[in-house]
Structures are given as structure tokens and as C-alpha cells.
Amino acid sequence: MANYPTPHINATPEDFAKTVLMPGDPLRAKFIAETFLTDAKLVNNVRGVQGYTGTWKGKRVSVMASGMGMPSIGIYSHELYNFFGVENIIRVGSAGAYNKDVHVRDIVIAQGASYDSNYVEQFHLPGTFSAISDYTLLRTAVAQAEEKKLRYHVGNIHSSDIFYGDLENVPDMVKPIQAWSKMGVLAVEMEAAALYMNAARAGKRALAICTISDSLVTGEATTAEERQSSFTEMITLALDTAAAMEA
């Protein structure tokens, strides 16, 4: 018996390519499809979460929004992996730098994702799980970034459930940004760890590629115009990684 359509995706497995790019914002999914893909077709619009399939450099690629936060990307990635035959999901999004050497407009390729979420509890593990990316996707993305001569970093990021943190009663000695940074964590975002966990459970591949939109260390931030151009570098990097997986 078919497990589709699901409550969140009104499509069939044939509608999706083996690799899906996942920005958080549905409008960014639309932008990627209309700007970069050839013959892009809308395959899902349930709850306004737009999904498209087209081609990039002759290779079939899909793009669909994940929404914000681990619960949201958890739903969409679970359904894509388990019901729609998707093999690879590449998150493309923004992140805030934790490290003084990671600057706005830089690209961070997330080798691993630390987290402050309880998302992992559903797996009933007798220990602590390390949420890591797929090595094949990681290696492919790094090779593409080298070829393009992009300014990029590879390492650990922090996936957080919290955007507005209440630090009113936190002692001065406990500073979350500095605490993560001293452990070599490069940046913070809100989705990658859940994506990596779902991929591990499904036996599929996942990678997060993020553009630094602001620095939580220096206060440096991009303008809307700068974000557009730097996000384009990230998107083409992700698309070329997706195409390479089809070679």
C-alpha cells in the first residue's frame, strides 16, 4: 500500500529527483527553481511549502522548503526519505558565525551538527548520538568549493531550538556563544542536526551548506543585496554537488 500522498506532501515518488535541496523559506525554494532550474515544475504546495523538480546542467534536481526549526525539517525530510524515494537532501540556508575567523558571506559546510534539542530522544539511544553529514556528499561539496575558489569552512555547527534566548539570569561565566566556540563550533542554525538524524535512521545521505549572514562575535552583518549574491554561490555549490551525485 502506498504511503503517499502524505499529510504534508501531495506528490508521488516519480515527482522528485533523487537529490533535493532544502532551503527553509518557501519563497527561496521558488527563487531557486525559477532562477536556476530548467523546466522547473511545481510538484508540491501543501501549506504553501513549495516543492519543484527540474534540471541543472542536464541532471534532475528537486528543491523544496523545510520550514524553520528541527521539528519542521524533521517532518519534511522524514517523508521525502521514507515515502518518496529521495536519497540525498542538501540543506541550503543561513547561519550566524560563532568564530571570529568565519566572516559574513563565507560558506560553512557542516561536517557535524551539535545540538541543544530533544529531537534525538525519539530514537531511544543508550548514549549520546553524534549527528554527522554523509561523507560522499561532504567530499563532493568540498571538491566543488575548491574548484570554484569559494571562501568556505568545514566543521561543526550548532543546531539550536532557540532563536530568542532568555539570558537574563544566566551567570556571566556561562556565555553560550563562547562555550560553543571554544569547542571549535563554527556557526549556529536551526535545522541540520534533525536532518542528519533522519538521514542516519533512514540509511540515506544529508549535508548542510550555509552562508554566514551575520557574526555573533563581531556584530558584522550582510545587507539584503549582499545576501542575495553570496547565497547564489551557496546555491550553485549545492546544485553542482547534486549534479555530481548523478554522474
Beta-sheet pairing, 38-44 with 88-97: unpaired
Angle between helix 224-245 and helix 135-148 axes, rounded to 10 deg:
120
Q: Whose CA is closest to 48, among 71, 70, 72?
A: 72
Q: What angle do CA 190, 25, 178 make, to 5 degrees?
A: 25
Q: What angle do CA 29, 30, 31 make, to 5 degrees?
A: 90
Q: Which of 39, 106, 214, 240 is catalytic?
A: 214
Distances (CA, A) of 8 to 43, 47, 117, 162: 12, 7, 23, 24
Cβ atoms < 10 Å from Cβ of 4: 15
Q: End-to-end alpha-carbon separation of the chain, Å? A: 32
Cis peptide before 5 (omega within 30 of 0): yes
CA distance 53 to 161: 30
CA distance 86 to 78: 10
Q: 106 an active-site residue? A: no
- Cβ atoms of 43 and 85 within 8 Å: the answer is no
Question: Which are the catalytic amino acids?
Answer: 214
